[in-house]
Structure 1
């Protein structure tokens, strides 16, 4: 990861410290990652040019025992509110991808005045029987790549999928991924629907919904549903991109974020 610093933030309630990645200067923006682990993608470098970016690990990713104290979404949202307090953050802009998008939406619907602007990138959290969200846990690695990416042959995708070649680093990466999947699946498996649809109406933040037009994991039809349920939201579809448009179309996604957050 190309990072400026990672701070282990102590939390109340007996939770493990959260290794928050921090980079940049300016108004704060928090990035909540998807189900495959804490990350620092190139588009976050783009965002950190003008903003101070905070990228925490998800609750339970460092110590899976933490999940014993997180029974559901309300506990998870309070965990993040405590984390933001410990980081000294007041009102923030919030960006969430995939599972992190679901958490960001839940947080914005609960702490309505604490989120200035909200960006949801291919967010989980809704469910339609006519367009089910695919399973990302119990599929082969080959199938997972097809679910996540529109064009796996792109160099950007190959770089994203590459594992460290040094044995200890590879083992650490595999452990980190296992912890992340365990922590996020605790809240979304087998169906990522926990009543968010009923709460989206409460969001006060101006919201941008970004979606890979070829997302095979969370169908693109959910973009319009999020925008319809959130009072002040609009959609931008990212062409030639799957579930990670910030990887396959980094410049396009970064441009949308820069304009939206600066407005």
Structure 2
């Protein structure tokens, strides 16, 4: 079986190469990660069993200089459009988690003809004063952890959160997380809402909303908000899951995703 590969994808305009992870065969699927950095989880392995999955990093995570060239969300949307062109991709299926869900929705609204199907997992991007999205930058780690997970002791969660035993590797991972949070916060902090509500009507792709019932970061009420405002959306609330239903309930979420994308 092919292994996950990482390719440094060259981009123009003085931007740093993007370390795009990829695996699998089949029609293209692009995954945009959440606020804590590029990842390749078992969920992506499940998708790659049937599809060619690409998982780029958020710009600025590896080279902060990118953030001087990308000032706001529209720059970010154009960045991803160039990245897809450099990958040689035309029409794609797009999956976004959390912060990546916000970016995926913005991209699908800007380029509706390019996205065939859209999957949003506990996506940021909307705002309600009566149910604010909690912030992920300055919050205490223990508080944030309690918002992200239904059960931190569950084996899949423990494996996902595990800290490397090697000190240097552990420090490197911590630095990567700091870089990732800085890069995602650049486009979303302090409120991860940049007017998406006005643009959702432009999305033509059938959309699947997947939400952890116990998400303490982006409350499940936002699944209802997205569903109400998207032209064609199906919503699935996942029990016994927090902000990462594709980790805590991997089998169910992967199966539902592949069914929807078939």
TM-score (normalised: structure 2) = 0.98
Q: Distance in 1 between matches of 2:81 and 2:217?
A: 29
Please state how far the C-alpha of 1:4 moved relative to its aligned partner: 2.0
Q: Deviations over 1:50-98 (max 9, x none)?
A: 0000000011111111011111111000000000000010100000000
What SS does the aligned partner of 2:191 have? coil
Give ranges in structure 1 of 5+ residues lacking alignment.
Answer: none
Q: What does 1:100-111 align with in structure 2 at a 5 Å threshold?
A: 100-111=100-111
Partner of 2:129: 129
Please state how far the C-alpha of 1:105 moved relative to its aligned partner: 0.1
Pairing 1:257–2:261 present: no
Partner of 1:138: 138
Partner of 2:192: 192
Partner of 2:238: 238
Partner of 2:96: 96
Pairing 1:27–2:27 present: yes
What SS does the aligned partner of 2:112 have? coil
Q: Distance in 2 between matches of 1:65 and 1:147?
A: 31
Q: Distance in 1 between matches of 2:134 and 2:146?
A: 11
Q: Deviations over 1:165-221 (max 9, x none)?
A: 112211211111011000000111111111000000000111000000110000000
Pair 165,3 (structure 1): closer, same or farther in 2 beyond 3 Å = farther
Partner of 2:161: 161
Q: Distance in 1 between matches of 2:194 and 2:85?
A: 25
Pairing 1:211–2:220 present: no
Please state how far the C-alpha of 1:3 moved relative to its aligned partner: 4.6
Q: What does 1:57-68 align with in structure 2 at a 5 Å threshold?
A: 57-68=57-68
Q: Distance in 1 between matches of 2:135 and 2:193?
A: 13
Q: For the Cα contact (< 8 Å) 1:3–1:40, is it kept in 2?
A: no
Q: For the Cα contact (< 8 Å) 1:118–1:205, is it kept in 2?
A: yes
**How many pairs were matched up?**
261
What SS does the aligned partner of 2:13 have? helix
Q: Distance in 2 between matches of 1:13 and 1:234?
A: 39
More displaced stretch, 112-121 vs 169-178 = 169-178
Give ranges in structure 2 of 5+ residues lacking alignment.
Answer: none
What SS does the aligned partner of 2:132 have? coil
Q: What does 1:115-126 align with in structure 2 at a 5 Å threshold?
A: 115-126=115-126
Root-mean-square deviation over aligned CA pairs: 1.0
